[in-house]
Structures are given as structure tokens and as C-alpha cells.
Structure 1
Amino acid sequence: MNTFYLSSALVQSALMTAIFLSLLLSLFLMFYNYDRKRKRVVRYLNIAIFLLLFVILAMLADTYMRIDENLPIRMFLPIPVWVFWVITCVCDIYLICEIIKQYRQKDKNLTRNSVKQAMDTLPSAICYFSPSGAVKLCNLQMYCLFRSLAQSDLQSLEELQRALADCDDKSGIIKLSDVRQTYLFPDGKVWRYSQTEVSIKAGATYTESIFSDVTEQYEKHLELKRQTEQLKKISYSLKQLSDNVLTLTKEREILTAKTRLHDQMGGGILAIRQILQQNHTTEENVAAVSLLRKAVNIIKNDNEYPVESGELADFIHDAETIGIQVEIVGTLPEQREVFDVFMIAMRECLTNSARHANATQLKIVVQEDENTFSVRITNNGKTPQGEVKPKGGLINLYRHVNDSDGTMKIQSQPNFALTVTIPKKEEFI
């Protein structure tokens, strides 16, 4: 049996070197598992292997030194050399297998470094401050944003708050909103800052500071503002067009009235001429002269009519000018959109009553219930020969009624009647 004491110096050196390397491997594994959650049995086994190798190496080194200096040898370990080699190999195999296992599971183990690495990959800037205000855990994005804010490294919560309060043209960072705490950085990105208190089981309270990237929402907000401005311009243009519709309708009525008066006056003048030439009258001439008198009276009344402000007063005046008396039952709605549609309907019926029905009276009944406004317009003129089909002005009226989410109904028999119903808006309900 060849023991360590009887082995050659080369064998002794090789054995101690192997044990020393195994000892370093064991020490490395102990440090590697320091911040990882491992079973207690594994931890204790690693410590036991380290202590075993350390004791064996210390005793062999002491013996080797005594042999080298020709000192008395202490026979502590009368064990064959191959036993030490077996112990060393078994320990090495275990340590190598454990290291390989740990390496394969490194991404599955939750450690302090893994938490930090996970935070560094987040797109948001996050930092946790201890109760004293010092930085406890902070990711790279927060460090980058703070360097843009203050051109220095983040050390405390007070520094962060001061940098946010003092951001100006020097840093190139623009504070967009005090309420939402949004900031526009020089690279064009917009970040929203939030700060909350986080309590843990131990009773300590930490401060969580987060910068969230809201660039996309900010750009959509700007685009929405641009679209809103365009819609305002379009709405203004539509209002002008709507006002122009009333003006054009009124001008068409006036033109119709003037054409009608012109025809009546022409017929009356021609009848007077025939009477003067023939020295006798006929029923047709008498009727023509009567129309001439009526036209003259209308022009006279129009000149003497006092000017009143208001679309309704103008409508009644225009109706009287063409010889139609208007009777209004009820009160027109104050809601501007509904009022305009009703005025368009009233003027269209006035024009058609004078042109097609030869009416002398126009009756307008305005009603209001809990949810709608309605107007019904009739005249005392000729009954339509067939079903009235919308065209021209009635089609234009239908478009306005449809834009207001209303309905339009035309009655042809036994008498003509137009009914327009428009729902109320919320402020009128």
C-alpha cells in the first residue's frame, strides 16, 4: 500500500495541485449559489465538500513541507494515495455537474441580477427610492432620461423632483402639462411622469417613480386637434351655405312675386287698352283690371310696410307682398337648427302655394311634445291633381330635414299638406 508519505515528490505535487483546483471549483460554486435559491441540502453539501478538500489539502501540505525540510512526519493520514485521487475525482465530477446544471438553469432562477436585467429591458423608465429618498433600484431608461434632464447621474428622489421642476430651454425639455405631468424631450418623444408610494410587509414605504412613453398618444392628440380645426372650418362653411339657402329661397320668392305682379299688371294694362279702343268691357277685361288694381295695392302696401327685424317678420311681409295671408298657430322653436329647417319649409310652401295653387291663405301649425318639434303647413289653394312628388325645392328641403335626423311627409289628397318632424337635442329635452 503506497501512502502519501511514501510517494514520490511528483505524485505528491500532482495530488495537491488537483485538490487545490477542486477547492477553487468548490469555492466558485459556493459564491455562484450565494444569491440563488437552492435547497439547503445542496448548500450544505457544497460547504461540506469545500471543508473536506480544505482539510485534506492542509494536512497534505503540512506533510509535504515536513518531508521537504527533513522534519519528523506526523502520521495523520496513513491512507493510500489512490483514495485521495478517488475523493478528488468524485468531488470534481459532482462540482462540474452542479455547475453545468446551474448554467442551464440560469435563465429560470430569479436572482437580484435577473430582476435588474428584466427592468433594464422595460420600455418605461422605472426607479424605486428607499424611505430616505436614496435610489434602491433603477433601470437604464431612467438613468438616460435623468441625464437628459439634469446632465448628471440620479442619486435621490429630491434630485429627480428638482430636475422636473426646473426643466427649461437649457435642457431642451418642454413641460407640456402640469396636470398630466407630460414632458417633450429633444428626441421628439413624450413621457408622462407618475409617482406612487409602495408599502412592503416590513412596514417600510418606498417611492415608485415611472416615466411612460406616450408619444403615440400625443401625436394622435395633435392630429385630432388638427382635424377638429378643419371640422370647425367645414362647419362654418356649412352654416354659411345654410344661411345662403334661406337667402336664395327668399330671393326666389321675391322673383316669383315680381313675375306674377308683372304678368298681372301687363294683363291689366292690355285690358285697359282694349276697353279704350272698343268702348266696351268684357268679363276677361274686368278680371284683368281687377288683378291690376290688386297688384298696384300690393306694391303700395309693400312701400308703406314698416321695416321689422327678424326672419319671421320678413317671411310674413314677403307673403303679404305676393297676396297671401299667413296664419301661424303655435310658436316656432328656439333651437336654431330646427328653426332654420322650419323656415325653409315655410318659404318653400309659400312659393309653391303662389305658383301652383293660386292660394291666398297659408296656415302653419307648430307643435311640440316631449321629444320632437313638428310643423304642418296647408293652404286654401287648388287641390293637386295627382300625387305630389318631391323635386327642386322639396328635395332640397328633404336634405335639410334628413341632416337634422327628422322626417318629412307630403299629403296630396284631399288637400295639400306638408309635415316636418325633427327630434329635440339633449339640451331641449
Structure 2
Amino acid sequence: MTLGDSKTISLLVLGVAAYILCILFLAGMIRGRVAGRRHRGIIFLPPLAVCLLLLLSITEVYRFVTGDIDPSVLEEIAENIGTPICIVAELVMTMLWGVLWLKQELNIIGRLTPQSLEDGLNSMPDGVAFATSKGVPLLVNSTMQRVYREAMGSPYFDIRDFEYSMQNQTLIVGCSADTHGKGYYLHLIDGSVWDIQKRLMMIEGRKVWELLAYDVTERYRKSLELEERNEHLAEVNRSIRNYTREMNAIIREEEVLAAKIRIHDDVGRALLALKSYLIRGGDREALIEMWQFTAGLLRGENTPDDSSDPIGALKEAADAVGVKLILNGEIPKKLRKLIAIAIHECLTNTVKHADGSELTVDITNEDGKVTAVFTNDGKPPEGEISESGGLKSLRSAVEQERGEMEIASDPGFMLTIRVSGKE
């Protein structure tokens, strides 16, 4: 079947399709020309020529079929063209146009143009601006424009005015700027913080100012938190140093106190031994030897002997002065020294103030809490007992063990010590 044998409607449809194809290829040529030299639409010219020839052929046949006119040379040739060939040709031209248009689109997208550059800069989250050496803006992206407008309250970008306002704190109310190296930290009303940096560039022999704005809100907040933590750590370090100095002083005081207590014990035993010798008599040479050691101890020539069992020594001292020492209960190893100090003090008070002959120590241990109660059979104290000398030192020793000490004088003398006995 040829075009000359086709119906009028078929010729009309083929003609319209050829006309549309001509328009599409022509649009491709114009688009390529507008896009730039490298993307001119010359490639669309051959298929456009084919579509025009096809359109003229179909038009001539259509005119001859619908009108009473003499056939032209082109019509005589065209009427012998097969209708299927025209249909196939138009389909091929349609697919060819699609391929060429897509290729042109990819080329345009991949090519850097002033418009694409501007679109890319405007899509950036950071602010970018370029200005001449006199401050005339060349390019300001949307982010920089927004930052400038919120800080200055004006839509007209001026790089020199912007820098002056940050230096002299003349920004709009609610905004401020801090100097940061060669740049600034700009604080906006919404709480965001921007790092503003400016530098001079040479482009084709011309001086151009570049202004950049980075959103550093999160980093700035974390830097403030880090500064606070560093200050806290510095304060902790100062506290630790002060605590160390205080601990050293406390340790020295404890060592001095322990030495005083040991000397007090040795002197007390010597006095008790002397009193026993004066009352009952005894080994004079042993007494002289004890006092010689005690005198050397006071002069710093001797050191207290901590190797012997203090409880056993106290029992011997009690026997020497005629006092019976009664121990009820087991003394924990941890508290043996503390109990010995308390026994020594109570033994001295029993002999010196109460004139007693028996000292009783009752020790109980309930769930790791040790209670030691000291009583004697001597006369009760006259009034309240004043803590001084040995009793004061004993309380310090008890408190060092985080214990409690109570003294009662009615109806008789009673000393109570409570302290943890866990190792």
C-alpha cells in the first residue's frame, strides 16, 4: 500500500506526526544553541531534514487527493512511497529524537554554567560571598544573605559594613560577635553560632574578598561544655592537692599523737610502778632501770617498744599497783591497740582518782560492732568528768577508728567505746 492509495485520514495522521517531529527536532537545535557552543544542536539537523522531506511528501499527496490540482514532480514520486515505510520512518525518528534529547540533557547537566554555579552555591548550607577590594558584592549565596540579613537587619550586602559591625558590636539587638583568631564567632537571635572567615584572593590579577560563614552551633556548644569540664577538673585537682596537704598534716599529727600516747603509756607504767614500790616495796633495780629508759624516752634517746603485747604489759602493770584487771570477752586484733590505750587510761584513773582495786572490761561483738565498757570498784567521781590529757587523747584515737566514746560519772565511773571490729 502506497501513499497514493491511502485514505485521507491516514494521510492526515501521518502529516501531523511528521509536523510534530519537525517541531521537536527544531526545539533540540535551539536548546543546544542556547546551552553553549559545545552543545549546539547540529546533531538534530539530519533527522530534521528527513522529517521535513517526509512532511512535504505527505502534504503533496494529501493536496492532490483532496483537491482538483495538477500533480507536482514531488507528488508523483511521493505517491509511490509505501505507507508502512512512512510509519516506520516516523517511529524511528521518534526514538532517535528521544535518544538525542536525553544525551543533550546529560551534557547540559554535566556542564558547569553560571546558572548551575549559582544554583550550587545557593544549595550549600554554608554562606559564601565574593566582593571587590572596594566592597562591591560580586556573588552572595542565599545562606550568606540570610546570615547577613539576620545580623544586620538589611537586605543590601556590604562586606565592609558587616566586618565593622562585628568588630564594634553594632549588630542588631540580640546578635553579638566574638573575636576568633582572624575571624569571628557570630551569635544570631535564633541561638545559632556562625564562624565568619575573610580572606583576600587574586583572580585574574584582581583582588577579590572571599567571605565564608560556617554553622558551628553544635561545635561551639561542645567547646563550652569542654571548657566547663576543664574548669571542673581543675577545681577537682585543686581540691585533691589541698586534700593531700591536709592528709599529710593529719598523718603527721597522727604520728605525733601515737608517739605521745606511747610515751604517755611508758611514763604512766613507770609512775604506777613507782607508786607500787613506795607502797609495797619491790625490785629496786628493775624500777631504776625502768625510770632510766623513761628518762631516755623523754630526751628522745630511746623509742617506745611496740613489739610486746600491750594487754599483757598492762596486766603486769595492774598487778604491780595492786589492781585486778578483769577482761570479759575477746578483743579483736584490729582494736587491740585501742583497747590497750583505754585500759591504760582507766587503770591510771582507778589508781589515781578512784582508789580502786579492780578494773573490769566487758567486750561484746554484735554484727561486727564492738562495744567495750570499762568500770571500777572505786569511789565515784565528784561531779562531771572533764576530758583532758589522757581521756582527750583516747577520744581522738577512738574517732580515728570512726568510733564513739561515752563517759558516765553517775552512779559510778563508766567508759563506753563503740567501734567497728571488721577487718
Superposition TM-score, scaled by structure 1 size: 0.51
> In 1, distance between residues paired with 2:196 and 2:252?
60
Secondary structure of the residue aligned to 1:107 is helix
| Structure showing greater Rg | 2
Distance 2:154 2:93 in 1: 50
Summarize the Cα distance change of 1:165–1:53 in structure 2 as closer, same or farther, 3 Å threshold: farther
In 1: Cα distance, 2:257 partner to 2:163 partner: 74
Q: Which position in structure 1 is the counterpart of 2:332?
A: none
Q: Distance in 2 between matches of 1:91 and 1:97?
A: 10
Mark the CA change 1:92 to 1:207 in structure 2 (over 3 Å): closer, same or farther. Answer: farther
Give me the whole-angstrom Cα distance separating, in 2, the residues matched to 1:219 and 1:154.
30
Q: What CA distance in whole angstroms lies between the structure 2 residues aligned with 1:97 and 1:164?
A: 55
**TM alignment of 1:349-428, pairs within 5 A:** 356=306
Over aligned residues, Cα RMSD in angstroms? Answer: 5.0
Size of the aligned set, in residue pairs, is: 282
Could you say if the C-alpha distance between residues 178 and 31 of structure 1 is closer, same or farther in structure 2, counting changes exceeding 3 Å? farther
Task: Write the letter of the residue equivalent to 2:187.
Answer: L
Q: Distance in 1 between matches of 2:168 and 2:48?
A: 57
Tell me, yes or no, if the aligned pair for 2:297 and 2:304 is still in contact at 8 Å: no
Change (3 A) 1:234 1:136: same
State how far apart, in whole Å, the 1-side matches of 2:282 and 2:17 are: 152
Q: State the distance in 2 between where 1:97 and 1:195 align.
A: 47
Aligned equivalents of 2:212 and 2:158: distance in 1? 14
5+ unaligned residues in a row in structure 1: which ranges? 1-10, 55-76, 299-321, 325-352, 359-429
Equivalent residue number for residue 194 of structure 1: 197
Distance 2:134 2:23 in 1: 40
Q: Which moved more, 1:232-241 or 1:276-285?
A: 276-285
Match of 2:32 in 1: 33
Q: Which residue of 2 aligns with 1:256?
A: 258
Work out whether residues 269 and 292 of structure 1, in 8 Å CA contact, stay in contact via their aligned partners in 2. Answer: no
Q: Residue 185 of structure 1: CA displacement?
A: 1.6
Distance 1:186 1:96 in 2: 52
Match of 1:124 among 115, 123, 126: 126
- In the TM superposition, 1:168-207 aligns within 5 A as 168=170, 170-179=172-181, 180-200=183-203, 202-207=204-209
How far off is 1:161 after superposition?
Answer: 3.0
Residue 295 of structure 1, CA deviation: 5.4
- Contact kept, 8 Å, 1:191 with 1:212, in 2: the verdict is yes
- Give how far 1:158 is off: 3.0
The answer to whether the Cα contact below 8 Å between 1:268 and 1:291 also exists between their aligned partners in 2 is no
Alignment-derived partner of residue 235 in structure 2: 233
Alpha-carbon offset, residue 199 of structure 1: 2.7
Taking the aligned partners of 2:178 and 2:213, their CA distance within structure 1 comes to 14
| Structure 2: stretches of 5+ with no match in the other structure | 1-10, 53-71, 80-85, 309-423
Inter-partner Cα distance in structure 1 for 2:30 and 2:160: 36
Deviations 1:227-265 (A, max 9, x none): 112212222321232122222212222222222222222
Aligned letter for 2:160?
A: E
Name which of 139, 143, 146 aligns with 1:144: 146
Q: TM-score, normalised by structure 2?
A: 0.51
- Does the aligned pair in 2 maintain the 1:124–1:141 contact within 8 Å? yes
Name the SS of the counterpart of 1:122 in structure 2: coil
C-alpha distance in 1 between matches for 2:209 and 2:278:
109
Output the amino acid matched with 1:261.
I
Distance in 2, matches of 1:24 and 1:171, equals: 59
Letter of the structure 2 residue corresponding to residue 249 of structure 1: I
- Aligned-partner SS, 2:271: helix
CA deviations 1:61-113 (Å, max 9, x no partner) are: xxxxxxxxxxxxxxxx9865969xx9x97998866653343235543333222
**Residue pair 1:126, 1:139 contacting (<8 A) in 2 also:** yes
Residues 158-173 of structure 1: matches in 2 within 5 Å? Answer: 158-165=160-167, 167-168=169-170, 170-173=172-175
* Aligned match for 2:136, one of 123, 134, 137: 134
Corresponding residue of 2:100: 98
